[in-house]
Amino acid sequence: MSQQRIIQVEEKVPLGMGIPLSIQHTFAMFSASVLVPYLLGISPAIALLMNGIGTLIFIFVTKGKSPAYLGSSFAFISPALLVINNPQLGYEYALGGFVITGLIFIVVSIIIKFVGVSWIDIVLPPAAMGPVVALIGLELAGSAASNGGIILTDTYTQIDPKLAIVFIVTLLCAVFGQVLLRGFAAAIAILISIIVGYVVALIMGIVDFTAVTSASVFALPNFLFPKFSLDAILIIIPASLVVISEHIGHQVVTSEIVGRDLLKDPGLHRSLISDGISTTLSGLCGSVPTTTYGENIGVMAITKVYSVWVIGGAAVFSICLSFIGKASGLIQTIPAPVMGGVSFLLYGMIAASGIRLMVDEQVDYAKPRNLAMTSVVFITGLSGAFIQIGNVQLKGMCLATIVGMAMGLVFYILDKAKLTNDYEEK
């Protein structure tokens, strides 16, 4: 069987191929992007608009060398709700916190510009970076299972067979699509699985068209302007640590997938400042902070389509959807088990990329240091342990990253002092 063709980062594709490939990316990102503004009680249209604009900014600033889609960040939901539900504050003050967060990203990116990224190899060696990358996907596994109808109660006794069937059909279609399909069909395996899952959901009678009937044909995004309060800012900004850790992890796993060191070219400073500009602009216009999306990474891992032109097309579609209410409503009718089935594979691909990173870097687990580092990082991320900073919990992948960096730094110091039992002169 011939190997699936890779569409490289800078490669342009014919329009006939590019449109369905971009739609595939849009579909994969849509449900998560609109969920955040929905939970915060604002119109999804403004988020779709700013996500699209932010992605185009990202592509421009990174000189078209880093394939990433900027979507709505989940890290800010809890602190933003605290600000929104405060009778003396409100959403406008949360926006002020978002603006300051974006500026923090920009400041950190400027520091990285002058300091460089060599410190990442020291504080996050492959034995720590591998499990951190894997945790990006593993953390999301529960949401994919819940959306799929596999887990509806804590006792596992109430599984809706219709939801489970749609989930299983979608998942199997995605799995066998990437294995059996060839050529262009293999590149749009995710889109095909979504369509098949949607048809099955229609047959099962679980598609709700309320979002389409209630939506207007054209809709204007609702722009809001930020207000600033020190209390709101102090509640919001701890979440920036989560996004910065997430950003580094996403750039590492994307580098692994596309076979290029994106931390060096175009550079971590360029990708992070892009996210900072996007988040600042989103806060100024009434939208939510942005972050690089794991769903995008999963789609690239499965389809081998890395082209920034395709991702840019997805951004343009997102902008168009923000003004076309009926089209946005139609995508919202995609049932949760369909997206759950797709996400089940996408998130697993991200987790597998972390394992692949350790294999490619030939991590030697005969060394006690490597075994200890990987073990502690994995358990930290999956144990539910957390550190409370104000109203924000550092947990999961974020806390695991901090623990991994601390261990990497300690081992580096011990190596320099020639105190470790597996020290090697380099």
Summarised one tens digit per residue, pLDDT across range 136-146 is 788 877 777 77
Helix, strand or coil, per DSSP, at residue 7: strand
| Cβ atoms of 243 and 127 closer than 8 Å | no
Bridge partners, 395 (sequence order): 386
Contact 322, 338 (CB under 8 A): no
Residue 285: per-residue pLDDT = 95
Give CA–CA dist 193/154, Å, rounded: 29
Vertex 301: Cα angle to 300 and 305 (nearest 5): 35
Take residue 40 and report the two structure tokens written for it: 């915060």
Q: Dig out the tokens for 202 from the structure.
A: 């229609």
Whole-number pLDDT of residue 341: 87
pLDDT for the residue 149: 62
Q: Is the pLDDT at 80 greater than 50, yes or no? A: yes
Of 201-205, 250-254, 290-294, 415-419, the poorest mean pLDDT is in 415-419
Give the best-scoring range by mean pLDDT among 275-289, 379-393, 408-422: 275-289
Locate the DSSP E strands across 341-401: 386-389, 392-395
- The total of other beta-carbon atoms located within 10 Å of residue 426's CB is 4
Burial (CB < 10 A; 0-12, 13-18, 19+), residue 237, is buried
Residue 284 has pLDDT above 60, yes or no: yes
Q: Which span out of 93-97, 214-218, 292-296, 335-339 was modeled with the highest average pLDDT?
A: 93-97
The rounded distance, in Å, linking the Cα atoms of 306 and 65 is 10
Is the pLDDT confidence value at 381 over 80? yes
pLDDT value for 425: 44
Q: What's the pLDDT at 2?
A: 46
> Is the confidence at residue 152, as pLDDT, over 80?
no
Percent of the chain with pLDDT over 70: 94
Mean pLDDT of the chain: 86
Residue 355 backbone dihedrals phi, psi, to 5 degrees: -65, -40
pLDDT tier at 211 (50, 70, 90 boundaries)? confident
- The reported pLDDT for the residue numbered 1 is 40
Mean of the pLDDT values across residues 411-420?
Answer: 82
- Count of residues in the chain: 426
Q: What integer is the mean pLDDT of 90-100?
A: 94
**Residue 12: pLDDT band by 50, 70, 90 thresholds?**
very high
Compute the distance between CA of residue 244 and CA of residue 249 in angstroms, rounded to an integer: 9
Gap between the Cα atoms of 68 and 312, Å rounded:
9
The alpha carbon dihedral of 69, 70, 76, 78 has a sign of negative
- Model confidence pTM above 0.75: yes
Residue 395 has pLDDT above 90, yes or no: no
In this prediction, residue 156 has a pLDDT band, given cuts at 50, 70 and 90, of low
Above pLDDT 90, what percent of the chain? 35
Q: Can you give the residue ranges of every domain in the chain?
A: 15-117+155-338
Q: How confident is the model at residue 21 (pLDDT cuts 50, 70, 90)?
A: very high
- SS3 label, residue 290: strand
Q: What is the average pLDDT across 145-159?
A: 60
Quick check: 265 and 10 in contact, CB under 8 A? no
Beta 392-395 vs 386-389: how paired, if at all?
A: antiparallel
- Predicted confidence at residue 137, as pLDDT, reads 80
Q: ∠325-19-255 over CA atoms, to 5°? A: 105
Give residue 407's pLDDT: 92
Q: What is the rounded CA–CA span in Å between residue 141 and residue 160?
A: 19
Q: How confident is the model at residue 34 (pLDDT cuts 50, 70, 90)?
A: confident
Q: How high is the pLDDT of residue 109? A: 94
Mean predicted confidence (pLDDT) in 383-407: 81
pLDDT at 82: 83
Structure confidence by residue, pLDDT tens digits, 323-374: 988 887 887 788 888 888 888 888 888 888 888 888 888 899 988 889 999 9
Residue 426 predicted with pLDDT over 50: no
Q: Give me the mean pLDDT over the 147-154 stretch.
A: 58
CA angle, residues 143, 144, 146, in degrees to nearest 5:
60
Distance CA 96, CA 147 (A): 33
Average pLDDT over residues 186-192: 85
CA distance 141 to 300: 18
- C-alpha Rg value of the chain to the nearest Å: 21
Interaxial angle between packed helices 336-360 and 239-258, expressed in degrees from 0 to 180 and rounded to the nearest 10: 70
Residue 257 has pLDDT above 70, yes or no: yes
**pLDDT bucket at 150, cuts 50 / 70 / 90:** low
**Banded pLDDT at 18 (limits 50, 70, 90):** very high
